[in-house]
Amino acid sequence: MTIKQLYTPCLSEAAYFIESEGEAVIIDPLRDIDTYLKMAEEAKVKIKYIFETHFHADFVSGHLDLSQATGAPIVFGPGAKTQFKVHNAIDGEKFQVGKITIEAVHTPGHTLESTCYLLRNEAGVPHAIFTGDTLFVGDVGRPDLCSGQLSSEELASMLYDSLQGKILPLANDILVYPAHGPGSSCGKSLGPETTSTIGKEKESNYALQPQTKEAFIAAITTGLEAPPKYFPINAQINQKGYDAVNEVVERGTKALSLEAFKNKIAEDHLVLDTRKSAAFTEGFIPGSVFIGLEGRFAEWAGSLLAFDQPMLLVTDPGKEQETVVRLSRVGFDKMEGYLKGGFATWAAAGEKIDMIIGVEADELLMDIPFDPNLKVVDVRREAEYAEGHLPRALNLPLNEMNDLAKIAQFEDDQNLYVHCAGGYRSVIASSLLKRQGVHNLRNVLGGWDSIKKQENVKIEKDKAQLN
């Protein structure tokens, strides 16, 4: 028996490859399935089942393409209604894979169909449980993402029953393999590890401590930040189906001449630039949006970009396919090609370019006392802002910057100094501001990490957003 966790850091997502005696299963696959096919080929095993723990909201699963490629059935938990053929496991149903058995354990709460999969080894002893978004390391799945007609409190009540009746009775030495790790928005505060044991979670996970149902519901429903806006879209895609990823990649990796690229811009195609932030700020196509591959690229794309608008790409040479694949993971299908030769082609042709001016943190602090029109725009999350920020800084979280009304609040005579924690999100924010015609801005290099290290810097630690 072999268990391999396939972890994708930029999505904080874990898929699993399990094999025994020439047969394998995949749990919660990503949309790009080549890795799983290659693993099966190298191990000389046949993929027998594709298990889904629930309808994922934060990424598009590869279940359809993987089933098409292998003939393996797609297994969901009880009550999962799809627009394609699946096998709905009943609670307690067992699946034989080589010499091991995988048992469906229905655990509604994160979603109604949420199901864990308990693996019994060759001796029939429970060895590991694949918990999806029901149980994380240090946390549990939030109950407000795919509630349908139920309230968050009603789903939280179900989750309490699932944990008490299905998870807590398990032996302490059983391994826990969740669907997500730190940074995921599918829970409140996931721990730093991506695996655990039932015993460790009983000791340290706040949601598994002895408590009343009422206390549990209050604990997991309070303090939840708004989920990324693309989550409902991805959940629907996973339920209804999608284009084959190979077709999406073929369309998105079409090399376009400068003339063809400009013609598509004129047809209201969005230009997405995925180069490194330092390269983007030095020069970019006017009106383009920056989201660099080096950060949580797909998550920010899903949170900020429209899914129904055709998209053009500007990438570092050789990064075209990676860009398209990572966009497809969160449901983007309308990529229509990239500029051949990248930004260098645009600049060499003498086309108009834009840029973002960067300033050091010490320069910002020197300018504040002498510029009455200076406005600090802090694009970190509210919780980050509350932990420490500059006096009179405006907190405009990046995930809210596709709200044009919030961008429209800025006056023409204001000098905006934009910062985040380290510099990645502030460049995204600056590109969004410039796209909406706000050009009197500076990007603070190094962000808050640099600002807070300056001598004599004044720091406020509250949630006040003073104008």
Provide the pLDDT for residue 464.
45
Q: Which amino acid is at 135?
A: L
37's CB contacts (< 8 A; 6+ apart) are 66, 69, 70
Q: How far apart are CA 429 and CA 276, in angstroms?
A: 15
pLDDT of 147 above 80? no
Provide the pLDDT for residue 203.
97
pLDDT of 148 above 90? no
Nearest to 264 by CA among 167, 363, 338, 366: 338
Q: Characterize the bridge pairing of strands 139-140 and 135-136.
A: antiparallel
Q: How far apart are CA 355 and CA 285, in angstroms?
A: 9
Three-state DSSP at 19 gives: strand
Residue 75 pairs with which residues in a beta bridge? 51, 87
Phi-psi region of 454 (alpha: psi -120 to 50; beta: other; left: phi over 0): beta
* Averaged pLDDT, 210-219: 96
Give phi and psi for 400, each to the nearest 5.
-100, 5
pLDDT of 254 above 90? yes
pLDDT of 185-205, one tens digit each? Answer: 898 889 999 999 999 999 999
Provide the pLDDT for residue 463.
52
Nearest to 333 by CA among 37, 70, 60: 60
Q: Which amino acid is at 59?
A: F
Write down the number of H helices and E strands in the chain: 17, 24
Domain ranges of the chain: 2-232, 244-348, 358-451
Top-level class of domain 244-348: alpha beta
What's the mean per-residue pLDDT of the chain? 94
| Strand order across the 394-395 sheet | 358-359, 441-444, 415-419, 374-378, 394-395
Q: What is the DSSP letter of 400?
A: G
Residue 81 structure tokens:
């209604």
Domain 2-232, CATH: 3.60.15.10
34's CB contacts (< 8 A; 6+ apart) are none
**Same-fold call for 2-232 versus 244-348:** no
206's CB contacts (< 8 A; 6+ apart) are 138, 139, 219
Residue 465 contacts residue 395 (beta carbons within 8 Å): yes
pLDDT classification of 371: cutoffs 50, 70, 90: very high
Residue 465 contacts residue 394 (beta carbons within 8 Å): yes
Helix runs in 332-423, H state only: 343-348, 361-367, 382-387, 404-407
Give phi and psi for 70, each to the nearest 5.
-115, -20
The larger pLDDT score, comparing residue 243 to residue 106, is at: 106
Burial profile 221-243: b = 16 or more Cβ within 10 angstroms, e = fewer: beeeeebbebbebbbebbbeebe
pLDDT of 331-351, one tens digit each? Answer: 999 999 999 999 999 999 999
pLDDT of 250 above 60? yes
pLDDT of 277-308, one tens digit each? Answer: 999 999 999 999 999 999 899 999 999 999 99
Global pTM reads 0.91
Provide the pLDDT for residue 467.
39
Nearest to 113 by CA among 75, 83, 139: 75
pLDDT of 35 above 80? yes
Which residue reads 């019994």 in tokens? 120
Q: Characterize the bridge pairing of strands 13-20 and 23-27.
A: antiparallel
Q: Characterize the bridge pairing of strands 270-273 and 311-314.
A: parallel
Q: How far apart are CA 467 and CA 269, in angstroms?
A: 35
Domain 358-451, CATH: 3.40.250.10
220's CB contacts (< 8 A; 6+ apart) are 140, 142, 143, 156, 159, 188, 207
Percent of the chain with pLDDT over 70: 98
DSSP assignments along 63-103, one per residue: HHHHHHHH-PPEEE-TT---SS--EEPPTT-EEEETTEEEE
Q: Characterize the bridge pairing of strands 139-140 and 175-178.
A: unpaired
Residue 256 CA neighbour count, 13 Å, CB half: 27
Three-state DSSP at 339 gives: strand
The larger pLDDT score, comparing residue 427 to residue 464, is at: 427
Provide the pLDDT for residue 158.
96
Q: How far apart are CA 47 and CA 43, in angstroms?
A: 11
